[in-house]
Amino acid sequence: MLIAAVIHASWNRVLHAEADRVAAMAISGLVSGVALLPAIVVWPPWAVFPNIVLSAIAQTCYALSLSAAYRRGALSVAYPLGRGVSPLLVTLGGWLVLSQPPGAGAAAGALLLASGLALIAIAGSRAGQRAAVGFALLTGVTIASYSVIDAGAVRHVSPVGYLGATLGIQGLLLALLLRGDRPRLRAGLRSGALIAIGSIGAYLLILFAFQHAPAGRVSTLRESSVLVGLLISGERPSPVVWAGAALVLAGALLAAG
């Protein structure tokens, strides 16, 4: 999960610096689907086809909300908010949907996470980034949605084939939303390919972790990427943002301990 966190923060910086983020995410999905096509053939994931469709839709909403957040705000504000909201929701979803009740450590960690997120949201709002804060929080909701869907699916099928199917469909849906605009898609080729590499590497590690640990714990441990994201953002986050990120990481470590 720690390796996945570093990879994830890195490709998010690539996306934040991209001019046409939706096009880059569309290319990323399409490249991922093609790259993982052999896995789809060898380990077909169609036994969980409803999960694939629902996850692809949630992943599409994730790409759109994340792109909107990055267009309106700093990486150091949007990234930790988007990442930090999901474990709170995933812990609840893992409890209600997957019968994985949180322990005392996970509950205490969630409280620290909530406190850290509140600090970052306040700092972002005061910096004139309210729209970015809103879209970042929406991004967290979409992450929680597909995390719960995926955690249940990969207990029945290969994570590799499943990921290829969901990301490939996500790419198709985003390309359709762009109406197949070839100039825009071509412009996003380089960034999209880099994002695809990062997405495949990071999320495969996450899906394999879902096979061996509760969804809430896995999703919470991912939040170590929050500090990584701040460190590589190239920005100067305020002390309040750093304090919020530290609380998010403390909550993640407590919940995963």
Q: 28: closest CA among 165, 246, 200?
A: 200
- Site of tokens 């390309």: 175
Domain carrying residue 213: 2-256
Nearest partner of 106 among 91, 116, 117, judged by Cα: 91
CB 92 within 8 A of CB 220: no
Tokens linked to 26: 């569309």
Q: What is the C-alpha to C-alpha distance for residues 110 and 198, in angstroms, rounded to an integer?
A: 27
Q: So what's the pLDDT on residue 64?
A: 96
Q: Residue 158: which of 30, 18, 19, 52 has the closest Cα?
A: 52
Rounded to 10°, the helix 2-17/75-96 angle is 130
* pLDDT above 90: residue 40: yes
Q: How many domains does the chain have?
A: 1
Q: What integer pLDDT is reported at residue 17 of this predicted model? A: 92
**Higher-pLDDT residue of 234, 26:** 26
Which pTM value belongs to this model? 0.86
CB atoms within 10 A of CB 115: 15
Instruction: Check residue 257 and give its pLDDT.
Output: 55
Which DSSP letter does residue 188 get? T
pLDDT in tens, 57-82: 999 999 999 999 999 999 989 998 88
